[in-house]
Chains A and B, each alone.
Chain A
Amino acid sequence: MLQDFLKRFSGQKRSSDEAKKRLQFSLVYDKLEVNDTTLTDLQTDIVDVISKYFEIDKDALELKVKNDKDVSALVFNTPILHVKRKRA
């Protein structure tokens, strides 16, 4: 107990505070993880929609989730081959 008291005085960190911070961070991060099936399904859907308007190079396209410190972004990159003509 005396040790505990001295620890407080010397301003030593409480390991439980660190545990809490690390947990909060990792849980947020865990939830941003997207599994492969979801990503593949999404890619198929996006390609379907875009193909209504553009002819795209399906082999060169790329879809991924980019996680940065503060934000995570969905990045879809595709070369356009032609713009399709709108049907009347």
Chain B
Amino acid sequence: MEGKIIVVTSGKGGVGKTTATSSIGAALALEGKRVAIVDMDIGLRNLDVVMGLENRIVFNIVDVVQGRCKIDQAAIRDRRIENLFLIPASQSDNKNVLTSTGVERIAKELRKKFDYVIMDSPAGIERGFENAIISANEAVVVCTPDVSAVRDADRVIGLLYARSLEPKLIVNRIEPVRVERGEMLSHEDVLEILSIDLAGLVPMDEKVLISSNTGTPLVLQNDSTAGQAFRRIAKRLNGEKIPIEIPNRKTSVWSKLSKTFGLR
């Protein structure tokens, strides 16, 4: 059976797309699937350092598309998680070096070799983005609860629909306390504005930065709320029906009190 290609995209940069990609990929591998993560951000590669595989790069995706090596030669095997592979971006080329037909040809091959291929799209909506979505069977849009990320997500969702992809949304870096205080859009607000289905909600978690510092997979950390959220997202993408968990609001005395007074 052929595998599925899932593109992770966002429009705006810096919303946690790379973290989402690596975590979802790792989590799917933990579910027993054979997974390839492909860094499509040509010229600005990052997945390798986030995943702690930067020292093992020999070939990259541009080499593969241009026929300088085989997929198996470019795919770096993760030693901590079985069946997890990374195909890194090239750092020296620019985004226009890949053609859509080249990417489509390799995508076909990748689907034969892996159960899931997770494509990390570059920020923006130009050529690099087009290349990342061209062969996708499914799309995940990542956004944070702020006005610019939500607006860009809306634009990207429109472009994905135009390609007959029905994206699912990840709202990342939710801070329940600030949502409660009325300082941050709630996930309900974001969903109402974007009106698409949810893949999941991810709370703000200090462990994300720490795990990227050391290049260790977030999803292996049981005490990481974001890591656990990504594991549930991966299960959902894998077809499991598990309810969306809302990042929990710490119920303080004051918030209970103001609730009693009907101030919310």
State how many angstroms separate the Cβ of A61 from the closest Cβ of chain B.
30
Chain A residue at minimal CB-CB distance from B264: A8
Q: Is the CB of A1 within 8 A of B193?
A: no
Q: Is the CB of B252 within 8 A of A1?
A: yes
Q: Which residues of B contact A16 (CB under 8 A)?
A: 179, 182-186, 189
Q: Is the CB of B155 within 8 A of A2?
A: no
Is B58 an interface position by the 8 A CB rule? Answer: no
In angstroms, Cα B263 to Cα A9, docked, is 8
Chain B interface mostly: helix
Q: Which residues of B contact A9 (CB under 8 A)?
A: 263
Known: A16-B184, A23-B147. A1 touches B255 (CB 8 A): yes
State how many angstroms separate the Cβ of B232 from the closest Cβ of chain A.
25
State how many angstroms separate the Cβ of A6 from the closest Cβ of chain B.
10
Is A20 an interface position by the 8 A CB rule? Answer: yes
Tally of B interface residues using CB under 8 Å: 25
In angstroms, Cα B181 to Cα A14, docked, is 8
Pick the contact of A30 from B151, B257, B258 — CB < 8 Å?
B151
State how many angstroms separate the Cβ of B261 from the closest Cβ of chain A.
8
Q: Which of A1-39 contact B (CB under 8 A)?
A: 1-2, 4-5, 8-9, 14-17, 19-20, 22-24, 26-27, 30-31
Q: Which of B162-187 contact A (CB under 8 A)?
A: 179, 181-186
Q: Is the CB of A23 within 8 A of B181?
A: no
Q: Which residues of A contact B202 (CB under 8 A)?
A: none
Known: A5-B258, A20-B185, A27-B154. 5 other contacts (CB 8 A): A1-B254, A14-B181, A16-B186, A23-B151, A26-B151
**A interface residues with partner B (beta carbon < 8 Å):** 1-2, 4-5, 8-9, 14-17, 19-20, 22-24, 26-27, 30-31
